[in-house]
Amino acid sequence: MHRDIKSDNILISSQGDVKLADFGYAVLLGADSNKRKSRVGTPCWMAPELIKGLAYTSAIDIWSTGITAIEMADGQPPYI
């Protein structure tokens, strides 16, 4: 899971190739550890369970992707 999806970490080449960057916070979830509890990321894009310090799964990346889509449509994230 990436854990810090936001517009700053999306790269687009002149050919239209899209890449996700900044894997400083990325972790691999496995059968022995399918949840995390550390609090990392950028606040405006963080899922509620991450902000609350609860255990979380890769679903937090879906939340951050949605916030990023809103940011692309509106010009800023909704909770800025």
Contact of 36 with 56, CB cutoff 8 Å: yes
Catalytic residue numbers read: 4
Going from the C-alpha of 44 to that of each of 13, 32, 56, the distances in angstroms are 26, 30, 17
